[in-house]
Structure 1
């Protein structure tokens, strides 16, 4: 594709108007993959209103003017993005905390089952949290196996499978329907981490028969750094699972201030502490941006951007480790290079922000809402220049001292 052809595709792109809804820095091609979504323009006004009017003017009255219902309200909006009912999703805490709550709840659901089955090479935090969860349930254990051995590891002792829908490093996507069915066939629950899925690809939790799910708000949902996360529990399980964190916001009657704990019905029982309303305002602004978007157009453009960058990478001799088939991947592309960290830093120095994943992966996010075809074309040109000149060999870029 030539630069003129890329510009023509941008001009004909039905998603192009959404680019103006983001505050993108001049001279930067943002290909983060995705550790932090960019700032939606609407967010600044939402945060200002939260601070100046809702907090500054209305003070405590704001809890009765929308604050107290924010976890359910925003959760209902996210539900529309992941194929869930509005009363099956709630916003609370972080992805890690929500994962802990659901894993312990799943382990306690059936005392005869004591194993969490997951994948080695899963996002490390998921495995770390799973290790902590089994320590809280006597006799429980984590069985993390290679992806090729997962099916045989799911057996009569499995309480819950913990799988990340889109792999954070390679972008490989699980067939959610198939793997949920495998868990159910063994009598286990299926828990999905949607952190690299929600806002990036089509997700249909109810269509797949999923039981539980978690996801973050700061990646493709553009909720801001450290944005609150969400969790999903299917309607069929809501009365049978209990959160191990029995905080007062999850109480059936929190303002009666009773000594004994009684869990609230439905998803409210998964709340613990007071919602962080400044952060909730940022998340809601990011989620609202998604509500009128045609997700089929997002998927089609993601595929086109991937194919474009994959072709550039192939021409430059880079090994692509992400699946070539669209239905088998998320919305980022990863290349292997022996000096991946230094290569990533050299690109960042030239205004192309991707990220590095240990030990040898350069990852590029392909977010259709704000990324254009010319952006990818130009990023490819800069990538070629860096490789041709071996700019990454500069000692400055060999020091592992940056977050990305």
Structure 2
């Protein structure tokens, strides 16, 4: 049994191996290959000029075939090479018995078109909200957001099987008449009760030092919302508080630097750059509050990881974030007053309560639990057409 996986994710090819930021080899081996004999992966690809094994994760694996599209990273490529792309994807669909389309993605949408044409059983994985993704991206994004959203709603509505990464948000915005499961792509492997004890001691030992807020996200995309936290700590510090903001993430931080300069907190905002995943947990253990101020998300891995370290956390009312945090920790998207109000209430008692709540909530995202649920759903999809 061969299944085709379609998405817009970018693969990097080097020495006949494939590397990716979002699709490591264990996704194939621990998820799809538990159900299907072979996977065929159809995404974008670029030739890596130099070794990328230290910056990206190996995606190549046994029983995984890569049938990739050399169309670059610009969506204009889809328009100029549309006929070639359509033919390529149709041939890939014809060679496989099952189709798994991860949306939102253009490649995924095309794959669904041909799965329906050739009567191939298909399943949709909805991993984000295209409206939020495109509307908050750029002026061009605002133009195409209604069309992409409509296409996604139409595809999901009639899909026989849908995997949502949220428990309620995406289900409400993109409903289906088919069978569904809410199963996050975030999967935590370890839970150490000592982590919560250490966090509790850290909170109890807080003195007059600065309170450190942290966010893990790319620093070159404005929809991640770090600018709102920068403005908020500026207002609070002028009122006598002492907040710092430590940012982990890749990209050009010149915009955020300009925001910090505008609001007079250049000395209070630290840019730590990209960080190996193994070091992220050390970073999380050193901050006092985690902030997820995004304007566009699915169910943020970074927030769940922070919660698994017992970090008191706040977040915007975007997508699946309210599914993770207590109502008192949620602020209206981009509302500086809301952010300030929540941070003012972050006293020792509140932080101790949040640390325990967040740590316990994160256990719902244990890899063993999510993998079992997802695999059983995939088996149902597979066996439904036998």
Question: Same fold by TM (over 0.5)?
Answer: no
Q: Which has the higher contact order (CA 8 A, sep 6+)?
A: 1
Q: TM-score, normalised by structure 2?
A: 0.31
Q: TM-score, normalised by structure 1?
A: 0.30
Name the structure with the higher strand share: 2
